[in-house]
Amino acid sequence: MRFIAAMALAAVFGFGAAAAHEFKAGTLTIDHPWVRLPPPGADTAGGYLTISNSGAEADRLLSVSSDIAGVAQIHDMSIENGVMKMGELADGIEIPAGATVELKPKSLHIMFMDLTRPIRVDTPIRGELRFEEAGSVAVEFTVEPMGASEPEPMEDHDMSEGAMP
């Protein structure tokens, strides 16, 4: 009986660790980096993650690199006159002290461009985040199908899904 309980506990903790999928660097915690599986033939893919800063000083995400793309830019997305626009944030993203910043579809995101290999759901992507204070942090992005667990806030923007991660 005790043995079975221990096994169950191990299973729970094992799953918990995998599900958490987080990376730490100094006062930063980077939670659940993932890349949305792009449509076949696409040469860009969107990357998302959550960064929490438990420290007393702000930090800044300056750049991102990966093993799937020649270029990775940090993008913001906004809707102007009903048209979705996105552009590079040349200064990166500030992570204020005590704050959590979420990169997610239809919002702040990482734009992987000039994809160098096919992206598959079963193949995690190695990446590196570079912060002003915390330095370089190695992370692993999981790959998730389009729309996976991400509700679409704007129903009428579904058509541009492929071009606008």
Which residues of this chain interact with Cu ion, rule CB under 5 A?
Answer: 75, 86, 111
**7 CB contacts (<8 Å, ≥6 apart)?**
none
Query: Minimal distance in Å, beta carbon 47 to Cu ion?
Result: 10
What gap in Å lies between CA 63 and CA 40, rounded to an integer? Answer: 26
- In the complex with Cu ion, the residue whose CB is nearer, 30 or 111, is 111
Query: Minimal distance in Å, beta carbon 110 to Cu ion?
Result: 8
* Residue 79: C-alpha distances to residues 83, 84, 106, 133 (Å): 5, 4, 9, 32
Query: Minimal distance in Å, beta carbon 18 to Cu ion?
Result: 28
- In the complex with Cu ion, the residue whose CB is nearer, 4 or 83, is 83
Query: Minimal distance in Å, beta carbon 75 to Cu ion?
Result: 3
- In the complex with Cu ion, the residue whose CB is nearer, 27 or 65, is 65
What gap in Å lies between CA 150 and CA 148, rounded to an integer? Answer: 5
What gap in Å lies between CA 86 and CA 107, rounded to an integer? Answer: 9
- In the complex with Cu ion, the residue whose CB is nearer, 25 or 110, is 110
What gap in Å lies between CA 14 and CA 29, rounded to an integer? Answer: 20
